[in-house]
Structure 1
Amino acid sequence: MPLQPPYRTILKPYGQALVRYAAEHPEVICLGADLTRQTETDLFRDDARLASRFFNGGMAEQNLMGVAAGLAREGRTVFVNTFGVFATRRPFEQVAMQIAYANLNVKLIGLMPGLSSPGGPSHQAIDDVAVMRALPNFTVVDVADATEVTQAVAAVAERPGPVYFRLKRGEIPVIFEDGHVLDLDRAKVIDPDPARETMTVDSVIFASGMLVASALRAATALREAGLVIDVVNVTTIKPLDATTVRRLSAEARSVVTAENHTIVGGLGSAVAEVLAEAGFSPPLRRVGIQDRFGQAASARFLFAEYGLTAQHIVDAVWELAGRDGERPAVAEIETAPGSYSPV
């Protein structure tokens, strides 16, 4: 079961997990693109056991993908680390032809996903999931918290073929307890409504990445207003766990998706495709970026401006439920230093 906000945070869980895994697996190579500290790979570079396996390719991402492909052909497990937009949009042809086409064991790590970057359109990976979903052989992963980040490094490394792994950097919230087990092949109901045993589910919320925490907050507000809500953590967007999507959607009156990404080609599109092919037609709303470019601002401002908050999820569910009266409001949560609360 998930914890309650505000959440404690862990600093650089990805970098720490990569160091631990690489120390036990000599085949792991770490590549960077002049963003070593910003991608937490300074921990790898500065570890005496691993320094000989770290290479900084500079701001030349297209070339870096060729280097990664060559190393993978020699039997190495290659982690390529940069911001999400520079791992997908800039070197797309090289990723497609040198990595995806050859089905190589290269792991692209895209940090600063979606609107988590304050750097404006050039640095905001709002379309990375759509781009990578389109490539044959690629697995696409979007984790929710530090617990999943820690487990995902090994899971991604040991998954055959290329993987795109998007995640927030720096201080990451701990949403799940230590007993939480990451499964890249399954979407999980992480917060089932106890009332679902005797009542029909009003809405199932499929969420990924940073919006999982927001979906949990939204579910709390909606349940207090009398609605029955399930929250599903979709860690792997491709291949999507279509069996779980079909089953839970068939049990609910409506479906809502929530993602830190454009609604074009991301989680919402993937869920809609599954439902359409299954012949299901539940009312559906996709909470995400509505076909717009980003802008330079704080993540808190951008999430509110672009409709990615817990309140926006509440509004989507409430509209689908057709309820009268004032819609429930998501309560503000005071956040102390070293803790995190989703918007």
Structure 2
Amino acid sequence: MAKTDGGPRKSDALHLDDFSVKQQPNHQTVPKYYGEALLAAARTDSSILALTADLTAPTETDLVRDHLPDQFVMVGIAEANMVGVGAGLARAGFIPFVHSFSVFLSRRSFDQIAMQIAYPKTNVKLVGFMPGIDSLLGVSHQAIDDIVLMRALPNMTILEPANPADYEDAVAAALAHEGPVYLRLYRATTPATPMDGVSPLQAGKIRHLHHGTDAAIFATGLMVEQALNAAEDLKSQSINASVIDCASLKPLDVAGILDVISQSKVIVTAENHTIIGGLGSAIAEIMASNNIARPFFRIGVQDCFAEGGSRAFLFGKYGLSASDIAAAVKQGLTS
């Protein structure tokens, strides 16, 4: 079963640079948080397999390749075929983790995901890296619509951790769910710091990261850091905002979200994704279904394509920065 895609066989669970990650100028090595979590799980369960479509290093599956070669499958540049292979392996009793860049996995394989994974509730874990506009490689590599595609599929669970330190919990949550899961991840460029006093990531649960009643900022993935920075900036201006980590995009913690909204004057959502069909739409649906009226703002990609660039440049240009979130809160409080 095992195949390799060449490259060095030695692995020390650290990486320098590749085309999906821009490291710091001093070439500081950074742990492969997802790769280490998957490897640890695979060591304890031989049914766990890592499949990849010629993106071994960028998806951190080289750790499984190097340490557990019998649990690694290189499919080649054939994402749709890889999804079919994963579905077949799941029916044979394995637990396949199927890896690629988010945009390739969601768009190129959508029909296979719908018919071979979501519809029959196949126990396949889809793992997409390089989320949203966070890419130097431009439009072809930017997954601005993967969440809406996966949200639209019945039986699909979607998890987008805020911090690579949460990846171990995300892998555990994916394994705990018997059925399809889509993990939306980014690779760490600096060592990740666990959030103190915060409960572990769980499917179907929000996490309160910052407390306030002037506004509630619902965020996911990379936007959680931006939301926390915005909340600190607002606090210096005597505006207290809650920051809610919505790592579980499906299922949503509807009761928890409604409780937060009931205590907040302004609602803001923040996502590294189109504002159409993602987290913003999900929160809006909850509010509309419960006849709730509040000043409401969606921070995200505003129905457009981006271009290649650094995270800071793209988030600034396309309105995804902490200052954009803070501005929305202040606009809501003065409207």
Q: Which of 242, 256, 264 is the aligned partner of 1:252?
A: 264
1:182: which partner in 2? Answer: 201
* Partner secondary structure for residue 93 of structure 2: coil
| Contact 2:267/2:296 (8 A) holds in 1 | yes
State the distance in 2 between where 1:111 and 1:304 align: 21
**Cα deviation code 1:292-328 (max 9, x no counterpart):** 11212222211111111100100110100118xxxxx
Which ranges in structure 2 are unaligned for 5 or more consecutive residues?
Answer: 1-27
**Cα deviation code 1:69-113 (max 9, x no counterpart):** 000011111100110011101110111011111100100000000
- Per the TM alignment, residue 177 of structure 1 is displaced from its structure 2 partner at its CA by 3.1
Q: CA 1:139 to 1:245, structure 2 compared with 1: closer, same or farther past 3 Å?
A: same
Q: Which of 130, 134, 147 is the aligned partner of 1:116?
A: 134
Verify: 1:295 aligned to 2:307, yes or no.
yes
State the distance in 2 between where 1:281 and 1:79 align: 41
State the distance in 1 between where 2:121 and 2:185 align: 22
With the length of structure 2 as denominator, give the TM-score of the two structures: 0.89
Give the number of equivalent residue pairs.
307
State the distance in 1 between where 2:127 and 2:232 align: 32
1:312: which partner in 2? Answer: 324
- Per the TM alignment, residue 179 of structure 1 is displaced from its structure 2 partner at its CA by 6.4
1:99-138 to 2 correspondence within 5 Å? 99-138=117-156
State the distance in 2 between where 1:10 and 1:139 align: 29
1:208-247 to 2 correspondence within 5 Å? 208-247=220-259
| Contact 1:10/1:174 (8 A) holds in 2 | no
Regions of 4+ moved over 6 Å:
none
| Contact 2:161/2:201 (8 A) holds in 1 | no
| Contact 2:198/2:208 (8 A) holds in 1 | no
| Contact 1:9/1:174 (8 A) holds in 2 | no
Verify: 1:11 aligned to 2:23, yes or no.
no
- Per the TM alignment, residue 170 of structure 1 is displaced from its structure 2 partner at its CA by 3.8
1:260-275 to 2 correspondence within 5 Å? 260-275=272-287
**Cα deviation code 1:166-206 (max 9, x no counterpart):** 0101435325138642222211111113xxxxxxx110000
1:80-95 to 2 correspondence within 5 Å? 80-95=98-113
Verify: 1:42 aligned to 2:62, yes or no.
yes
- Per the TM alignment, residue 145 of structure 1 is displaced from its structure 2 partner at its CA by 0.6
* Partner secondary structure for residue 108 of structure 1: strand
| Contact 2:198/2:209 (8 A) holds in 1 | no
Instruction: Give the AA of the match of 1:143.
Output: P
State the distance in 2 between where 1:130 and 1:179 align: 27
Q: CA 1:176 to 1:43, structure 2 compared with 1: closer, same or farther past 3 Å?
A: same
* Partner secondary structure for residue 114 of structure 2: helix
| Contact 1:31/1:78 (8 A) holds in 2 | yes
Report 1 or 2 for greater relative contact order, CA contacts < 8 Å, sequence distance ≥ 6.
Answer: 1
State the distance in 1 between where 2:188 and 2:63 align: 12
1:25: which partner in 2? Answer: 45
2:211: which partner in 1? Answer: 192
State the distance in 1 between where 2:169 and 2:52 align: 21
Instruction: Give the AA of the match of 1:240.
Output: L
* Partner secondary structure for residue 39 of structure 1: coil
**Identity over the aligned pairs, expressed in percent?**
44
1:285: which partner in 2? Answer: 297
| Contact 1:110/1:166 (8 A) holds in 2 | yes
Which ranges in structure 1 are unaligned for 5 or more consecutive residues?
Answer: 1-7, 194-200, 324-343
Q: CA 1:271 to 1:178, structure 2 compared with 1: closer, same or farther past 3 Å?
A: closer
RMSD: 1.5
Q: Which moved more, 1:262-271 or 1:149-158?
A: 149-158
| Contact 2:204/2:250 (8 A) holds in 1 | no
State the distance in 2 between where 1:117 and 1:25 align: 33
**Cα deviation code 1:239-272 (max 9, x no counterpart):** 1111111111111111000011110000000000
**Cα deviation code 1:138-183 (max 9, x no counterpart):** 0011100122112111111221110010010143532513864222
| Contact 1:11/1:171 (8 A) holds in 2 | no
